[in-house]
Chains A and B, each alone.
Chain A
Amino acid sequence: MNILSFIFALLLIISYGFFATWNSHLTQNRIQRTYVNHQIAHRKLLNTYNSELYGALRSKRVESENPTPRGVKATVPELNAACSRLNIYPLIQEGKSAHPLLYNLTAKLFKEFYDVEPEFLDLLLKDAALEPALEKLPIKGHRKAYYKMLKGSKTTPALLDYIKSTPTKEKICLHHAHPRLLSLLFNKESAAHLFTKLHEEKTLPTQELIEDICKGAYLSLDPKIFDLLELQKAPHEELSKILTATEDDVYLRISQPSLVTTTISSNLTPPKPSK
């Protein structure tokens, strides 16, 4: 009996020791892997940055006369352009009752991108009334979740690529909008169709065209949505450029001031006025 308990105690000590060693080994491995991936992502980011610098040194680029021929599929941009972000400034200043459509769209964005309820948006708007910089909002009790939204990942977009708070009356530029934003404003089917139309057809998007596309996707539009949209294909100045790099689970991004006054122009020519 004594021997049995002795062996049992010995086995317990050995198994505990093995588990402790194994656990520390696993943790160490995880930390090492994350660190290495972080360094690789940093290196990639710096390479991109150096390429950007090199690109800025080059002489004036010669633009081709027909940059996007008909039938060529438009490439999906990596990030949503700065001119195509939802401006929640009116919501912060005047409240959701004054801008129900903007509130609903922003709530939809939070739900679809980050799976959070509208109560989170209410908290954000409350905090944003006191602090103008959206990234500095404390959002008590939800800061960790908010940090993840702000950071973005390989699968979820960074929040500040889709919303902004500026005291201007800028509308959402449809032409430079990412398909993700278009699917939020309309629906998935109409967004895909609209994105192709916007980048392929040599015509300006009109309210009628958008309504027709949405009808084709069985979507009835609230006409007030056009108050939020910019249909003109005007070029926009880029004040900063966002560079991203990924390596395994690590996702890095930096924002750098534009090296030269660049404009993201439309590759489509406006139609000639009919006589």
Chain B
Amino acid sequence: MKLKSAREIVLSRGHLQTRLQTLFSSAQNFSTKPFKFTYDNGIDPDPKFCGQLTATLTLENDELLLTTTPDSKVFRKEILYKNAPGFTCSFDKSAVYLTLSPDLEFAFLLPTPHPFITYTERA
């Protein structure tokens, strides 16, 4: 039972990491409060949800939600993570940082030629 719940936690974290990293690999136009960005959803069975979509990260009933919309008329809601007490999001030119709790932080790489780690040339 303990193993099962540990597995569930690991899988849900893995899902969050994979899903958001896929989105951020084509993300642009970030804004905060609420955390919003646009991304390329590619091909979707619903023609309205093909191509560029706007995504918002919100917290509802302790669940981290991803809301995607092509035109603010139709929405899709997806639970990214359950039992999230809160979250903060920040970004810079090379990555997006998501903090769910002090001991649960994620970093997602952005498509940019800027280095994730800044190297300094030796004198």
Contact = CB atoms under 8 A, between A and B. Distances in A.
Interface of A: 39, 42-43, 45-46, 49-50, 53, 56-57, 133, 135-138, 143-144, 147, 150-151, 158, 253-257, 259-260
Contacts of A150: 43, 50
Contact of A254 (B26, B51, B113): B26
Contact of A259 (B28, B42, B47, B111): B111
Interface of B: 14, 18, 21-22, 25-26, 28, 40, 42-45, 47-48, 50-51, 109, 111-113, 115-116
Given A42-B18, A45-B22, A46-B22, A53 B48 contact: no
B20 to A, nearest CB: 11
Nearest to A255: B40
Contact of A136 (B22, B50, B109): B50
A41 to B, nearest CB: 10
A136 B21 CA distance: 24
A135 B43 contact: yes
The 3 residue pairs across chains A and B that have the minimum distance between CB atoms: A135-B50, A150-B43, A136-B47
Contact of A137 (B44, B47, B109, B113): B47
A253 B42 contact: yes
A259 B112 contact: yes
Given A137-B47, A259-B112, A46 B21 contact: yes
Given A147-B43, A256-B26, 10 more contacts: A42-B22, A133-B50, A136-B51, A143-B45, A150-B50, A151-B43, A254-B22, A256-B111, A257-B111, A259-B112
| Secondary structure dominating the interface of B | loop
A250 to B, nearest CB: 14
Contacts of B45: 143-144, 147
26 contacts: A46-B18, A46-B25, A49-B109, A53-B116, A57-B113, A57-B115, A135-B42, A135-B43, A135-B51, A136-B50, A137-B47, A144-B45, A150-B50, A151-B43, A253-B42, A254-B25, A254-B26, A254-B40, A254-B42, A255-B26, A255-B40, A255-B42, A256-B25, A256-B40, A257-B26, A257-B28
Contacts of A53: 109, 111, 116
A49 B109 CA distance: 10
A48 to B, nearest CB: 10
Contacts of B47: 135-138, 143
A56 B94 CA distance: 12
Contacts of B111: 53, 256-257, 259
Given A46-B21, A135-B43, A151-B43, A259 B113 contact: yes
B26 A133 contact: no
Contacts of A135: 42-43, 47, 50-51
A50 B109 contact: yes
Contacts of A255: 26, 40, 42
A255 B28 CA distance: 13
A43 B18 contact: yes
